[in-house]
Structure 1
């Protein structure tokens, strides 16, 4: 999938363009304003004037020419983030992170990410959004409004548009933050007109006053009149007498007959293209013109005739006509030629598609209303995008298609289901699969039917906890279509889950090992065999073997697919958490945060929960509180509050470990039913129903204790019904604690012995570390503690400092900063960047960013600049 880089280039300033000194001076006078609005209809030289001004600036600038396809938020965000590379080289993965996050995070959250990145990594700069009138998506306007309000004043935004956008312009006017360039400023005055006449060696100077009056200073109309005059074959008196200098169709109709016939037809045909290069024109001309046209000579003639040609890159490889001129040419094409416009659009679409510009290819066929070809393009390229984990890109393609087409074409509806599943949209996925059943029955290919059965399998497993049904559907899918890419990989993962949940973990491992041998390292199926094997091993409670497989997986997955790298990091962090190698697991969990958007969001939030627990188990209460604040901030940024329950559960587990009984019990008593299915717990670090049980058994009164035991029995029955042994030690220790509180030492001994027996197999210490914090007396007087656990169980019980996790400092309305946070603020105020701070404090840049997020929240500021300003004002 290719990015059209010409959108990042401003118009090239050629020798025949008149200097707009008045506009340049006006822009210079307002060079410190955060927002400059250049608003006027087409043909007033808006983009050219801004381009002239930029050439005189010392500050770096970024230019983005907006198109209609940018109304898809993810497409806009991708190009916007790439445009920022003009300020400073922006890592491609950072762009991917911005884009992948957009499917789940709120617009404000994404804006804050962009703003913070600008604050931390870039100095003064100018961002130009050209043709912004094409944007109609309110989320994009919201993004721009946020950046204007909260980004540092060193960043300046210039919006070029044909009409005022729905930004908060009045607010910016009121506070003197807005400069405006409008028609009154952009119309040509007499001096500029004289310069234009001299540059074009025209005789129009005799009629300058009349031309200016009739054209109303409209640059495009005057330029067109100059072209007519340059032919020397047309009496201008009739044109000047008529009030037609603002009618581009009339002017072009007068001009075209004066051009050589051999040039006119290629000119009209080229206008079909939104942008073109020599290769596109060569193919078009060869296919649709009877004459032979030398494309290089043709482009040279366009420049010679000054026909509103705009170079879109510095190498003069890509060009476009002025938008208004192009539209008028297209109308003339229909009048003056027999060229089939639709066929030409199809050819151009095919060229863009074959070169990887899928969004543009779809846009061209939609221009001619060809929904069949548009859907065929999505069908043809969706699998490659899915293989790369670019779900958001397929969504952008689907967003261009009408809803009735999506719901009537099997391949398109299947693509839609893939996207919904990736975003874990349960309700819509269920409806889409129900509809897909009816569409498939009307006729579908083997591949489409195979995909349908796969989605039935996925749905049966993850949404209905029915592994037997899911396995049957997956086997039907395989029988219809063998696949070595994303379908095959996901299908095998589902089958492995099903087999494990049906007590066939050995068969699942064998199947995955055979797949590993059948494919080369780096191929999707090979990599998926590793991740699926880790899922099976973790669910089976085979942590020792899982650790060995994880180490191999982390090695082979490097520099392959980012989403696979993300999973390898999460799974390694999950294993490290259970083994509780404290420094290592903290580093793993922090590293996982660098993959926001690439990994499943549930796993991503699970890493936040794991970090909170690691810190609290290690008795670093300040760090745990900070991690909780970061998790709370992140879950609030996610649309629809999808993971608020995970944050609350992690918070209450921290309270459980800190002995905050009352707060924890209030939450635990809110739901006294299991409220989960067999798939829900899987192998997550934080499982909300289990945390409720922990709290009820540890701190509940006799009635609550009994409720906790009942829930624990239900939980154990549920997970063991699908052969899930991930939480076996937790379950056994909770039973031992319950019987300890019920004063039945015999039962306590039985369940502790079982827990030690499971430890001898699983070799994980985390559950014992947690229980040594909340119930150290559980292990008193034991003689048969496994050797490798003795240093944990015989250690002096930890007494955690009980802090009000979200208490405020009443003196100034802000929360107190920890010592480490104060160090970071001091270093930032001294001018150090994140990397320099990390090096000086011997921590990772990810940790610095985590501290900064917490600092911003405590001080109630949006970014680094606001924080520095607050500190300076306080001093």
Structure 2
């Protein structure tokens, strides 16, 4: 039960100042997606947004958040509920579905809401008031995803006391955000006059208004503070204003001096001493001030509203308003420069010691202390890169004077790792050679750090192993990797996770899948120990890809879920783009496509498409285009599928030397697209473009050979298809390649049916259905030929009771009715209509079993329960159970209703 009062927009006070100039900023405008109204309490955020909502004509949903909404399921229930309350079609059904979802990422529900908004087509506005109550990182990640994929006409407005940790920098670059901060909320002279006269009921002269606005620049917080100190009241304000002779550019500095002069000495000192902190907490302030009263001081500042903005709801982290902090820094740097420098250094040291490395580096860069930056990058850069921050590290290295990098082996190695993770491998060879020359010189010259520099040799060997893979030099890659494994315990920098990932790639490329899985599991385990989330994601993603392609769909999904939860729990920064893995997102796309959830599959594909558009490593390009083509093929978008798969195939051929693993068999899937489009000769040609000798991965070879058999069946050459499939059957079964095994059995069954070998065909198809039901495969049935799908619809094994059977039948029937296929009116050759009327698959939610059909026939003949039991040679209780099930499936309560319903469904004649 949702509290409907949370969906009520506050009624505007008729006396409130009308902020037309700010309301205009809130209006929808392409490409804007987000209004961000950030200010401390009492700045009029809610009033402003409510006024704007009252004047817009588009549908608007309002949600007032509170501390109880800081839980993902509840948060999204209320967000969907806000749209439901405002009239969005089908929102109620989506909210009910959310209540039963077990996936804690709620991707399906969020995607469903995005799709509902897209289908509705209206320019919806959603207001989330008091967003500062939402501090759960999971919600921030989910909300960032929601904004990223919103339809362009949807506008979100957040009103908050704190700036939320969302990817705001990226969104601002895309011009998606309209910021309304305290500076914009400042009153104009007219608004100030209206506020005092109409809202407050105070008789204030125009001269007084002018003095107040001039001294405060209309800054509401400053006006409030000054009013508290009686600086601006009545004629005194005017007199005070007339006595001032200030440069207007430094008006905020004057306000600061007014504030400082009115504070007790301890508060004024605290403000100045902590101005060097980009963010404040009690521990940091205590450390640089060498005191133990900072929490008390922070709470005192907060209670007096001294320009202190909370960053959480627990009163632990704060920041000063930027203008206020700048003025404080200016004051202390002029009056006590040595103290200011000491405080700044203490702040950076505390940030580094407490793991806030990026924030510390930002402060160092701001001060242009390049030697310190070089030392920090040498110590922390490796972990930053493996945490997904390779691009910032490259920028910081670029900012350093060249001489600091040229003679520093660790910084040179850091640049090499950064370029590697940025997929700029073409630039690595000369850098590696230069680094090796530098190490040789340092050893020859007995450099003080010569011993430590030698430890970099393992990293160089590891990097060269990856470069060897790009040249398809598998032997060198394997030799170098094993060399690193022998030396790894003697190196200072943890490398086991990256090394085992490389080993996993080697085994995968050679088709040694069991060994690949073992190596990748080690890579995941060491990556978690070494705090390398990007390596954990890549290793776990490739592991899941192998598991899925071997047919372990549940295990693959479990691997993806466990890895994602570990990364989000330990190393997710909601203010940064979400760290993703091509392998993992591709696997998730394939899993949800196979389970017939194409919209959910598309949500995992979408972030990968951005990489394709911007340009990515060729191996990843092939995988993404392959998965993209497969999803389009499943959805019947054949031309889109053909274009993506042709691109994947061409990229795989032209840039094979730059790909460190064997790409998926794009040509095999491309052939299936041509078959579905009615072009078997094109399908054959696409397969002929690759030779079996090119495949080292048995999964890819199997995939290609199965497609070849499909083409032969389509060309009415079932005997040749059978030869291929017979050779594949036992190895696929022996190696537990379950997904391919199902496909082999299906195509084998179709080939036998073409030869009018009905019983053998049915046996093959029954084996395929039974194996697929155990593994949870679904969509692969809908991707087969129309003739094979038609065979399946009449297959007794698929018409047996069970939720999986019913789902697959419904999928096939829906596909037929949607016009995607046009099957023959009767099953293909080798089958004839059964003697009894065939069960209409779409007639019942769950079809009748063979025994239930026998009972139905005997009831139709007029037999009593005991007679039926005698004829069927079963106990009377068993007959009663069959009849009970029969009535339940037919939706009836007695015999006459059952017989009438069965006639309507064509299950009985006459």
Range of TM-score over shorter length: 0.5 to 0.7
Contact 1:348 1:364 survives alignment (8 Å):
no
- How far apart are residue 492 of structure 1 and its match? 1.0
Report the 3-state secondary structure (helix = DSSP H, G, I; strand = E; otherwise coil) of the residue aligned with 1:127: strand
- In structure 2, how many angstroms separate the alpha carbons of the residues matched to 1:694 and 1:52? 57
Q: Pick from 435, 438, 443 the counterpart of residue 442 of structure 1.
A: 438
Once the two structures are overlaid, the 10-residue window that deviates more, 668-677 or 596-605, is 668-677
- In structure 2, how many angstroms separate the alpha carbons of the residues matched to 1:741 and 1:430? 44
Q: Which residue of 2 is the match for residue 215 of structure 1? A: 215
Q: Pick from 464, 480, 503 the counterpart of residue 471 of structure 2.
A: 464
Q: Against the structure 1 CA distance between its residues 747 and 731, is the aligned structure 2 distance closer, same or farther, given a 3 Å change threshold?
A: same
- In structure 2, how many angstroms separate the alpha carbons of the residues matched to 1:732 and 1:192? 84
Q: Pick from 181, 184, 206 the counterpart of residue 160 of structure 1.
A: 181
Find out whether 1:272 has 2:276 as its counterpart. Answer: yes
- In structure 2, how many angstroms separate the alpha carbons of the residues matched to 1:87 and 1:311? 9
Q: Which residue of 2 is the match for residue 487 of structure 1? A: 495
Contact 2:466 2:502 survives alignment (8 Å):
yes
RCO comparison, higher one (Cα < 8 Å, 6+): 1
TM-score for the superposition, normalised by structure 2:
0.53
Contact 1:509 1:533 survives alignment (8 Å):
no
Q: Which residue of 2 is the match for residue 431 of structure 1? A: 427
Q: Which residue of 2 is the match for residue 363 of structure 1? A: 362
- How far apart are residue 726 of structure 1 and its match? 1.0
- 1:651-800 map, 5 Å: 654=634, 674-675=653-654, 677=656, 687-694=665-672, 707-708=685-686, 710-712=688-690, 714=691, 716-720=692-696, 724-734=697-707, 750-763=723-736, 764=738, 765-768=741-744, 771=747, 781=757, 791-792=767-768, 797-799=788-790
Contact 2:752 2:758 survives alignment (8 Å):
no
- How far apart are residue 352 of structure 1 and its match? 2.6
- In structure 1, how many angstroms separate the alpha carbons of the residues matched to 2:548 and 2:213? 85
- How far apart are residue 365 of structure 1 and its match? 2.1
- In structure 2, how many angstroms separate the alpha carbons of the residues matched to 1:331 and 1:662? 59
Q: Which residue of 2 is the match for residue 453 of structure 1? A: 461
- How far apart are residue 394 of structure 1 and its match? 5.7
- 1:409-424 map, 5 Å: none
Q: Which residue of 2 is the match for residue 8 of structure 1? A: none
- How far apart are residue 212 of structure 1 and its match? 4.3
1:679-705 deviation line (CA, Å, top 9, x unaligned): 979688x63222235567999989757
Q: Against the structure 1 CA distance between its residues 136 and 698, is the aligned structure 2 distance closer, same or farther, given a 3 Å change threshold?
A: closer
- In structure 2, how many angstroms separate the alpha carbons of the residues matched to 1:253 and 1:680? 63
Find out whether 1:283 has 2:287 as its counterpart. Answer: yes
Q: Which residue of 2 is the match for residue 813 of structure 1? A: none
Q: Against the structure 1 CA distance between its residues 25 and 540, is the aligned structure 2 distance closer, same or farther, given a 3 Å change threshold?
A: closer
- How far apart are residue 725 of structure 1 and its match? 0.9
Gaps of 5+ in 1: 1-19, 38-44, 64-80, 102-108, 146-156, 164-179, 199-203, 287-291, 567-595, 616-622, 807-819, 821-875
Find out whether 1:184 has 2:180 as its counterpart. Answer: no
- 1:338-417 map, 5 Å: 338-374=337-373, 376-377=375-376, 380-381=379-380, 390-391=387-388, 395=391, 402=398
Q: Against the structure 1 CA distance between its residues 140 and 194, is the aligned structure 2 distance closer, same or farther, given a 3 Å change threshold?
A: closer
Q: Against the structure 1 CA distance between its residues 628 and 509, is the aligned structure 2 distance closer, same or farther, given a 3 Å change threshold?
A: closer
Find out whether 1:112 has 2:157 as its counterpart. Answer: no
TM-score for the superposition, normalised by structure 1:
0.55
- In structure 2, how many angstroms separate the alpha carbons of the residues matched to 1:663 and 1:733? 19
- 1:190-229 map, 5 Å: 191=196, 211-212=211-212, 215=215, 218=218, 220=222
Contact 2:419 2:425 survives alignment (8 Å):
yes
Q: Which residue of 2 is the match for residue 811 of structure 1? A: none
Gaps of 5+ in 2: 1-11, 30-37, 51-61, 68-125, 440-451, 570-576, 615-620, 771-780, 782-786, 791-814, 822-841, 843-910
Contact 1:488 1:525 survives alignment (8 Å):
no
Q: Which residue of 2 is the match for residue 244 of structure 1? A: 246
- 1:448-847 map, 5 Å: 448-461=456-469, 463-482=470-489, 487-499=495-507, 501=509, 543=550, 547=552, 562=565, 600-605=581-586, 607-609=588-590, 612=593, 640=613, 645-646=625-626, 649-650=629-630, 654=634, 674-675=653-654, 677=656, 687-694=665-672, 707-708=685-686, 710-712=688-690, 714=691, 716-720=692-696, 724-734=697-707, 750-763=723-736, 764=738, 765-768=741-744, 771=747, 781=757, 791-792=767-768, 797-799=788-790, 801=816
- How far apart are residue 762 of structure 1 and its match? 3.3
- How far apart are residue 468 of structure 1 and its match? 1.7
Q: Which residue of 1 is the match for residue 80 of structure 2? A: none
- How far apart are residue 494 of structure 1 and its match? 1.4
Q: Give the alignment's Cα RMSD to 1 decimal.
A: 6.7
- How far apart are residue 489 of structure 1 and its match? 2.0
Contact 2:282 2:295 survives alignment (8 Å):
yes
- 1:121-132 map, 5 Å: 126-128=158-160
- In structure 1, how many angstroms separate the alpha carbons of the residues matched to 2:47 and 2:237? 39
Report the 3-state secondary structure (helix = DSSP H, G, I; strand = E; otherwise coil) of the residue aligned with 2:280: coil
- In structure 2, how many angstroms separate the alpha carbons of the residues matched to 1:114 and 1:308? 37
- How far apart are residue 768 of structure 1 and its match? 2.1
Q: Against the structure 1 CA distance between its residues 734 and 599, is the aligned structure 2 distance closer, same or farther, given a 3 Å change threshold?
A: same
1:737-794 deviation line (CA, Å, top 9, x unaligned): 6777899888656434312332442353232256369866677659999976664599
Contact 1:224 1:252 survives alignment (8 Å):
no
Q: Which residue of 1 is the match for residue 333 of structure 2? A: 334
1:449-482 deviation line (CA, Å, top 9, x unaligned): 4334323323432x43332222233234335533
* Structure of higher CA gyration radius: 2
Report the 3-state secondary structure (helix = DSSP H, G, I; strand = E; otherwise coil) of the residue aligned with 1:727: helix
Once the two structures are overlaid, the 10-residue window that deviates more, 276-285 or 670-679, is 670-679
Q: Against the structure 1 CA distance between its residues 188 and 650, is the aligned structure 2 distance closer, same or farther, given a 3 Å change threshold?
A: same
- How far apart are residue 52 of structure 1 and its match? 7.6
Once the two structures are overlaid, the 10-residue window that deviates more, 397-406 or 187-196, is 187-196
Report the 3-state secondary structure (helix = DSSP H, G, I; strand = E; otherwise coil) of the residue aligned with 2:344: helix
Once the two structures are overlaid, the 10-residue window that deviates more, 362-371 or 442-451, is 442-451
- 1:49-60 map, 5 Å: 49-50=42-43, 60=64
Contact 2:281 2:317 survives alignment (8 Å):
yes
- How far apart are residue 344 of structure 1 and its match? 2.0
Contact 2:709 2:724 survives alignment (8 Å):
yes
Report the 3-state secondary structure (helix = DSSP H, G, I; strand = E; otherwise coil) of the residue aligned with 1:797: helix
- How far apart are residue 217 of structure 1 and its match? 6.3
Report the 3-state secondary structure (helix = DSSP H, G, I; strand = E; otherwise coil) of the residue aligned with 1:26: coil
- How far apart are residue 640 of structure 1 and its match? 0.4
Report the 3-state secondary structure (helix = DSSP H, G, I; strand = E; otherwise coil) of the residue aligned with 2:176: helix
Q: Against the structure 1 CA distance between its residues 486 and 141, is the aligned structure 2 distance closer, same or farther, given a 3 Å change threshold?
A: same
- How far apart are residue 557 of structure 1 and its match? 8.8
- In structure 1, how many angstroms separate the alpha carbons of the residues matched to 2:746 and 2:267? 82
- In structure 1, how many angstroms separate the alpha carbons of the residues matched to 2:187 and 2:431? 51
Residue-pair matches, total: 654
Contact 1:270 1:281 survives alignment (8 Å):
yes
- How far apart are residue 369 of structure 1 and its match? 1.5
Contact 1:410 1:436 survives alignment (8 Å):
no
Q: Against the structure 1 CA distance between its residues 518 and 598, is the aligned structure 2 distance closer, same or farther, given a 3 Å change threshold?
A: closer
